[in-house]
Amino acid sequence: EQELRSFADLFVDRDRTGNVTLTLRDDVQRVARDQLGQRRGSVVVLDVDTGGAVALWSYPSYDPNPLSSHDPEQARAAFQFLDPTSGQSPLRASSYQNTFFPGSTFKVVTGSVGVQSGRVTPEQPVYPSVSTYTPPQTTRPLSNFAGEVCGGTLFTILAQSCNTSFAQMGVETLGPDVMVDGAASFGFNQVPPIDLPGAVESRFPVDFADNLPALAQASIGQGDTSATPLQMALVAAAVANEGRVMAPHVMKEIRDGEGAVVEDEPIDVWKTPLSPQSAATMRQAMLGVVQNGTLTGVGAIPGFEVGGKTGTAQTGRDTNNTWVIEFVGPPGQKPEYAIAVVVEDQGADETGGGVAGPIARAVLEQALAGDGG
d(CA 40, CA 21): 28
Q: Is 264 helix (H, G, I), strand (E, B) or coil?
A: strand
**Angle (CA) 48 113 284, round 5°:** 55
d(CA 101, CA 312): 9
DSSP letter, residue 137: T
User: To the nearest 10°, the Cα dihedral for 185, 189, 190, 191?
Assistant: 130
**Angle (CA) 143 149 154, round 5°:** 90
Exactly one of 58, 104, 112, 278 is catalytic; which is it? Answer: 104
Q: Which residues contact 173 (CB under 8 A, 6 or more apart)?
A: 114, 119, 120, 125
What number of other Cβ atoms are within 10 A of residue 317's Cβ?
8
Q: Is 104 a catalytic residue?
A: yes
Which residues are marked as active site?
Answer: 104
